[in-house]
Chain A
């Protein structure tokens, strides 16, 4: 029998020694080992950055934003609840509510439909929240709550047409199977206007970059809504309900909404609207912040995207002189002009010895240009200020 004199601290000490031994230590070392594919330079942290765990919030390091397809292993993760275990054989997706012909589909049934494939950016609405001042509560993402993948699966509009929605149908309510730790916590359910999902780019994705959709990313089925923020890309979907009204729960009524008019920090927020479309943005992948590089020219590379349009121009800039004037030059764009997809940009910039500040500014096909400062909002959504990277040029 244990002695009553043993304190919690003693117990914790005993347990910690045990926990530090054996399997736990080995797992930690293996899990923390940097091992992302396709990385050529060794000057930046690799592996995903842990912003949260259980539910997991994992950020892609910016060095991976140098290519059209973000590898699945390096793709960011944003989860509201705990991913469910799904039996692929028993899995069924139901489409019901205000429809004349409710549907129930197995994975085989979904895979047997006509498949469409889209290259599209997935970005969390809160990407960049960590840069807002005054600071805002929430996951303090920097640049890496976004990624681009090839997503493939049936078009939702074709399945909706089969279900024959009633004329009064205005929204779809998309239900994931993930569970909250407390049963009383509202489930993550989003409403999407039905006219958006009647467009042919909205997919029920079964694959990601040619692989079966990883469980961590919503497998077996997640919604793909190109150009719209990640809160619409519901993971582990099992039920879609067609309705006349917006879903009444927290995540539709309070979460993921922004003031319609920009309000000052601390001011009374006015009427709000759901966050929907991404805004124009460029992210520098190389060089890494703090890199020490040789004099001559420096290769600046990264990605640029916008909402339901494409980027037409990226300028790369350097700050020069005591006044900090920015000298801009055109970057070359790689990748096709596809709405909702990012393009890679690349430029060779002259680099004289000393500290060097590099900037990247994107413009989209609608003429929207990135601002110097992103508009502050209470949820910390859609940060898109011009990216700046400071490096040291060696003599």
Chain B
């Protein structure tokens, strides 16, 4: 599974790179000066223990980011005992699929207790401008990423048959399934592909998560997000 995931990720990266190169008009040539992000916690204001790839960070990304974005985690300053109680509460009260006594549980508690103790001074939170109007898309905090129009168009067809019945034709949420537009996971193709591979809750695993179809779905959802942001 892990090997397959890595291969798939590399394929997605290759596809993305190829597509952007072949269709530069869809993603303006503007490169960041910052070094590449290693994990979803890799920001300058984050303790080093959380920034780099490690088994603990992988467990955190796998288990906690199902429901939480990173800021709510990074804002906590708790003792080991409090972190333990918090993780247990997520399982017992909120039914997080994190097995008692599992390696992931131990890794997460140890990492958070070491990286975010009470003594650590609070970091200044980011500031955002919320959207205006009654129909504005709420999750403006997420940055979805670039997409290629032709991929997004093919993704729309696949979306309509596979995803729309639960998530809604406009991907803004439907009966029993949440909104997909504007979600943070759209910025992270590997996490997106992982989610398709394993499914979530009542959502079955996607039949071909490593395929071009997965990338097309991602492009479609990024396109929808970009459209929703337009003033």
The answer to whether A47 touches B127 (Cβ under 8 A) is yes
Are A51 and B145 in contact, with the CB atoms below 8 A? no
Is B201 a contact of A72 with CB atoms below 8 Å? no
Asked if residues B128 and A16 are in contact (CB atoms below 8 Å), the reply is no
Q: Is the C-beta of A334 less than 8 angstroms from some C-beta in chain B?
A: no
With contact pairs A2-B7, A27-B229 given, residues A33 and B125 touching in the complex (Cβ less than 8 Å):
no
Majority secondary structure, B binding face: loop
Q: For residue B17, which residues in chain A have a CB less than 8 angstroms away from its CB?
A: 14, 18
Asked if B9 and A53 sit within 8 Å, CB to CB, the answer is: no
Question: What distance in Å separates the Cβ of B130 from its nearest Cβ neighbour in chain A?
Answer: 6
Cα distance A19–B190 when bound, in Å? Answer: 12
Complex: chain A residue closest to B222, CB-CB: A23
Interface size on B, residues (CB 8 A): 90
Give the chain A neighbours of B34 by CB distance below 8 A: 20
Tell whether, in the assembled complex, residue B95 and residue A216 are in contact, meaning their CB atoms are under 8 Å apart.
no
Q: B168, A85: Cβ atoms under 8 Å?
A: yes
Shortest distance from the beta carbon of A27 to any chain B beta carbon, whole Å: 6
Query: Is the beta-carbon distance between B30 and A185 smaller than 8 angstroms?
Result: no
Residue on A nearest B28 in the bound complex, by CB: A22
- The total number of A-B Cβ pairs within 8 Å is 261
B13 touches A15 (CB 8 A): yes
Nearest residue (CB) in B for A79 is: B138
Residues of B within 8 A of A250 (CB): 93-94
A112 at the interface (CB under 8 A from B): no
A22 touches B30 (CB 8 A): yes
CA A183 to CA B77, docked complex, whole Å: 29
Within the complex, what minimum Cβ distance (angstroms) separates B79 from chain A?
A: 8
Closest-CB distance, B164 to chain A (whole angstroms): 12
The CA of A36 and the CA of B126, in the complex, are separated in Å by 15
Within 8 A of A (CB), among B18-38: 20, 26-32, 34, 36-38
What A residues does B102 contact at CB under 8 A?
A: none
Report if B6 contacts A (CB, 8 A): yes
Contact at B7–A53, with CB atoms within 8 Å?
no
Chain A min CB distance to B205 (Å)? 16
Alpha-carbon separation in the docked complex, A23 to B27 (Å): 7
What residues of A have a CB within 8 angstroms of the CB of B94 in the complex? 180, 182, 185-186, 250
**Cβ of A56: which chain B residues have Cβ within 8 Å of it?**
138-139, 141
Cβ of B67 under 8 Å from chain A:
yes
- Is A13 within 8 A of B144, CB to CB? no
Given contacts A12-B36, A85-B172, A185-B67, contact A52 B75 (CB under 8 A): yes
Q: Is the CB of B138 within 8 A of A182?
A: no
Let me know if A184 and B95 touch, CB within 8 A.
yes
Q: List A1-29 residues whose CB lies under 8 Å from chain B.
A: 1-4, 6-28
Q: What does the 1/0 interface line of A56-99 toward B look like (CB < 8 Å)?
A: 11110100000000001110010100111100000000000000
- Most interface-central of A12, A59, A72, A219 (chain B CB within 10 A): A12
* CB-nearest residue of chain A to B20: A18
In whole angstroms, what is the CA distance A2 to B18 when docked?
12
Given contacts A21-B29, A135-B118, contact A85 B179 (CB under 8 A): yes
- Chain A residues positioned under 8 Å from B204 (CB to CB): none
Tell me whether A49 and B130 are in contact in the complex, defined as CB-CB below 8 angstroms, given that A15-B16, A137-B82 are known contacts: no
Rounded to whole Å, the gap between the CB of A54 and the closest CB of chain B is 4
A130 touches B67 (CB 8 A): no
User: With A54-B139, A84-B173 as given contacts, are A19 and B146 in contact (CB-CB < 8 Å)?
Assistant: yes
Query: Can you list 27 residue pairs at the A/B interface with Cβ under 8 Å?
Result: A2-B10, A4-B3, A6-B10, A10-B13, A11-B9, A11-B13, A11-B190, A18-B145, A20-B30, A20-B31, A20-B34, A23-B27, A23-B222, A31-B141, A49-B126, A50-B127, A50-B141, A77-B130, A135-B77, A139-B75, A179-B177, A180-B94, A181-B200, A184-B97, A185-B96, A216-B136, A216-B138
Apart from A24-B145, A50-B127, A51-B75, list 17 A-B contacts with CB within 8 A: A8-B53, A11-B9, A18-B27, A18-B145, A20-B34, A21-B20, A21-B30, A36-B129, A50-B71, A56-B139, A72-B132, A83-B173, A183-B202, A214-B133, A215-B136, A215-B138, A219-B134
